Every structure is written in C-alpha cells, then in structure tokens.
Chain A
Amino acid sequence: MRRHQVLAVAAADLKRLFKSRDYIIPLAILAGLFFVFVPGIMLPLIGATERSPLMAQIGDVIGTLPQQIQENIAGDTPAVRTAYAFAVYLLAPIAIVVPLTISSAVGANTMVGERERGTGEFLAHSPLTVQEIYMGKLIASLVPGYLATAIGFAIYSLIVNLTVGRQLGGWFFPTTGWWYLILWVVPPFIAIALAVILRLSARVRSAAAAQQASTLVTLPVIIASYGIASGLLYSPAYSALIVGAIAWIVAILLLRSGARAVRRERLLGVAADA
C-alpha cells in the first residue's frame, strides 16, 4: 500500500468536508453542545444552587452509591460533590457519543458520495488499489471525529477545571480513568462503527440510505460504548485496558474485512448489489 496515495485520497476528502459548511456546521454544533454548552451551563449552575432542595436530593442519590464510588467523588459540600460527579462520571460518555456520531456521519457519506457525485468513476479508472481507496476513506472519516474529540475534550477539561476545580482547590481533570477512555477505549469503538458503516456505504445506493444504515449501526455501538465507558470510570484501570484491547482486536478484524466491500464497479455504481 502506497502511503502517499492513501494520504492524497484522505486529504482530498477532508478538504472537501471542511469546505462543506452545510455538513461541517451541524457537526460543530453537536460537538459544541456536548463539550461546551452543557458543561458550561450545568456545572456553574450546580455551584450556584448549593442550598436548593434539588441539590440536597442529588446529594442523597450520591449517598446511595457504593462506598467505593463515593470515595472517588471529591468535594466537601453536596454542591461540589454533585458537580464533580457530573463532570467526571455522568458526562463522561459524551466523549464517545460525539466522535462516533461525527465519524459515522462522514463515513456514511464517503463511499456512496463518490458514486452519487460521479467522482467514483475517476477513482475506478485510477491506479489506486481498492485497499488504498478504503484506507484513505477510513482516515478521512476518522480524522474529524478524533479532531472533534481532541478539541472538545480540551475545552471540556478547561471548563471543568475552571468551575469544579476552583472549588476543589486546583486542576484535577482529566482523571486517570478519562485518559484511558479517550486514548485507549474511544478510538477502537469509533473504528468498529466506521468499519461497519464503510461496508454499508460501499453497498447502498444513496447517501440517504447510507445515513439511515449508519444510524442503525451507530446507535447500538453508542449505547454499548456509553455503558462501557460509564462503567469503566467506576472500575479499576485494568478494566479499561482489557476492554480497550478487546475492542481493538474486534476493530482490526472488522477493518481488515471491510476493505473487501470496496470494489471498482461499486464506485461506478453499476454493481448488481450497489
């Protein structure tokens, strides 16, 4: 596989994507909503409602959690403990939802889009191998998701540290569990969803069908990963390492077999099943 050609395919797709405002703006809004708006509003609000009955109720709920988890929740007052719990545990799976949604949206369009626009004809007649095309498309689909995660996560960390961290006496975020989640667990889940979506995208006839199919695929993956991510934050670090390793193995297997879905006649839109 020729790296230069793979990167050329990915770069062309990414340039196109970042120039498509009608595509990039909704995705940016989604990332902004989860990483900036929700924590930016909710965490200061929790701090400001320290004496409210609601805060007391949330404090009671936290008090019912297992002792091991309660020990991990920092803070001296109910409001700080609630804000900490929200920042570190309840909003954690956002780190999965946003990149998965963005990468899925891009991935769903990338193959079928070539066919719909007619640009697949150029790729089909080109000396690119199908593996190079697949890998280029995969990179182009992964980059926006990871980029959104990196930027969003940095902003989220800033908001958490400026709001909750100030009350705790210093910057504490990201916690160890979050690092494992972001660097080890999220990437293979995105890859799993993309491997399936790229296969579907290579087969279906229209971008609309690809989007629908991708929703069917990503929803269970999001739910599963949400649950796993939430659970991992309460669990010892080795749990995240094991789950991440398993997810990586599944992702690699799926990605390897996914390349077979790309065929020149599908790029032309004349395959019997395309």
Chain B
Amino acid sequence: MNESMVPAIEFRRVTKLFGAVRAVSDLEFVAPTGSVTVLLGPNGAGKTTTVRLTTGALTADAGTVRVLGLDPSDDEQGQEIRSRCGVVPPKPAFYDQLTGWENLEFAAEIFEAEPEDARDAAARFGIDHALDQEVGGYSTGMRTRLALARSVIHDPDVLLLDEPTAGLDPESSRAVLDLIRDLAGRGRTIVMCTHLLHEAEGIADQVVLMDDGTARAAGHPDELAAAYMPEPIVVFDAEDRSVLELLADLDGVTSIHRNGSVQVTLDDLARLPDMVTMLVGAGARLTRVERVIPTLEELYFRMQRAHKDQP
C-alpha cells in the first residue's frame, strides 16, 4: 500500500493502565495523513497518555497502535517513528543551565538535523533573538516557543502538540495555530491536545472528544454538529422585539431562548421562509435572521451531556 494511503495514526481498542488506573481505555481513533486531529477533553481525559503511546514512549497494555504504518512498541520501528515525530509536551522542559541554542543544538544532534535547521526553526517561532540566553531565564512563552522550534527541527511527518498554546500570549498562540495550518497544508499530520475549544475551531479536520481515557465521539466538526445538534438553530432580531414572541406558538419550533434577540430551535430548516413571511406580515421589521453554526464549545458540552445522560 502507498504510504500516503496509510493512516498516519491508528488506535484500535488501546488500553493503558497505571496500576489500577485506566489512563486510556479502549481508545479508538484514526488520524489520516495530512490531517489536523484535535484531541479535546478535560484534564485527566487521557490526552497526554495518548501522545506518549503514539511515539512509543509508553507501551499499550492492550490494543493496537500504528503510526506511519509502524508499531511504536517495537524497538526498531519505534525508533523510526520517534525520528519522524515532533513532540511539544504540556510543560516543555529544557536543560536550564544551557542556552537556548545549546538546547536546540542538542536536539539537532539527537534528530540528526543540521544546525541551520535549528536556527531556521528558532527564527520561525521568534525565539532566535534569545538563543544566547540560558533557558533558566526564559519566560513561559519563550520556553514554549523554544519547545515548538525544537519539535520541528527535523521536519517531522507527524507533529504531536500537547497544550501547545498554554502560557502563550495571543500573538504567539496565533503563530502556533498558523504553523499548524502551514504544516497541514504541506501534508504533515498534526495531533493537538487541548481543552481550549476556540483553538480547535477552524483548524480541526477531526475532533476526538475524550473523557475517562476513551473517545466519546470523533469526526469533523460539521459531522459532530449533525450528529449531536441536528436541529437547526436560528437567531431572530427585530426593531420591536415584542413581535418575536409570536415565534413561540409556531409549529416546528422545538425550543426558544430569549437573550435580547430570540434564538429558536427548529425541527426543519425548510420552515424558515414561512416564519419570516409570518413575522413580516405581523408588522415586524426584522434586523437579523441568521442560522447559528454551533461552536465547538456548544458541541463539546452537548456531547458531554449526551454521554453523561446515557444509562
């Protein structure tokens, strides 16, 4: 099979135990090559363990992990995987007594990259000006930028970013998200762990909602919206908002929420033209009629609720 056709990452019923604790439990997901997969979940959901299982830093107790078609638990294949993966851990750590450059140079030697690659990576994340300083004096944001630079020195095929924007200022966070888009555009596979939903918005080809070490749901945000929020939501607003109360009695309105404007949930979007006609006929001067695309945050909490309600 052509390598590009092999999923970059495949987890099949993977379980990882730490003593009696199931850090990952029957986890299933596939990250296609060249895609951006966002592992979304609260602290303790198993996201970091998933990253560690991906590189073979940890070995699964049950199930199958395949990365770039290789088995990370095998010594030789694991080494191949690790040489093609870049990792940004949740709390990037460095040798604090060494300078930023010495830390990058060390990483370049380990990954058999050229020193020029290390300089380019540092410049890319705007940390090149501080490479002569000892890392012990770096701010959190500088450390994260250095960690990001370190992770791409060897131009990895798979980039695993575990809370990569934690502690970053908005400008740097945007740079990280731009990098993700850039790398994905060049065919690299990205897995990003986060609990910041707005970060996943717009960059995720796939969202894997994790909780208690397992994938509660996985798919493109639109697919998840269709599955978990199938009823269309429409926001209405008018110069005289009292007219909007008429919406509550109309057929097809399954719920109504007032917050200045009125947000109604419909059983079918096809009812919308008739509703607008009715409101205009009743004298309403509408200022807004807009279908709401659910945000990941709304989806996340909807999915969480759905799974908690399951018997």
Contact = CB atoms under 8 A, between A and B. Distances in A.
Whether A and B are associated in the same complex: the answer reads yes
Contact of B79 (A117, A127, A265, A272): A127
Q: What band does the interface of chain B fall in when counting residues whose beta carbon is under 8 Å from A?
A: 20 to 34
Contact of B111 (A11, A126, A267): A126
A8 B58 contact: no
Contacts of A19: 97-98, 134
A119 B79 CA distance: 19
29 contacts: A5-B109, A5-B110, A8-B106, A8-B109, A11-B106, A12-B95, A12-B106, A15-B97, A15-B102, A16-B95, A19-B97, A20-B97, A117-B93, A119-B94, A122-B89, A125-B82, A125-B85, A125-B87, A126-B111, A127-B79, A127-B83, A128-B110, A129-B75, A264-B58, A267-B57, A268-B52, A270-B18, A270-B52, A272-B18
A16 B57 CA distance: 24
Interface string A249-273: 0000000000000001101101010
Nearest to B83: A127
Contact of B57 (A11, A125, A129): A125
A124 B57 contact: yes
Interface string B74-111: 01000110110101010111111110001000110111
Contacts of B59: 265
A264 B75 CA distance: 11
B55 A125 contact: yes
Please provide the 5 A-B residue pairs with the shortest distance between their CB atoms, ordered closest to farther: A118-B93, A127-B83, A8-B109, A124-B57, A19-B97
Nearest to A124: B57
A5 B59 CA distance: 23
Contacts of B19: 272
B164 interface: no
Interface of B: 18-19, 52, 55-59, 75, 79-80, 82-83, 85, 87, 89, 91-98, 102, 106-107, 109-111, 134, 150
Interface string A11-54: 11001100110000000000000000000000000000000000
Nearest to A116: B93
A97 to B, nearest CB: 27
Contacts of B57: 121, 124-125, 264-265, 267-268
Contacts of A5: 109-110
B111 A118 contact: no
B95 A268 contact: no
Which of B56, B83, B97 lies at the interface centre, i.e. has the most chain A CB atoms within 10 A of its CB? B97
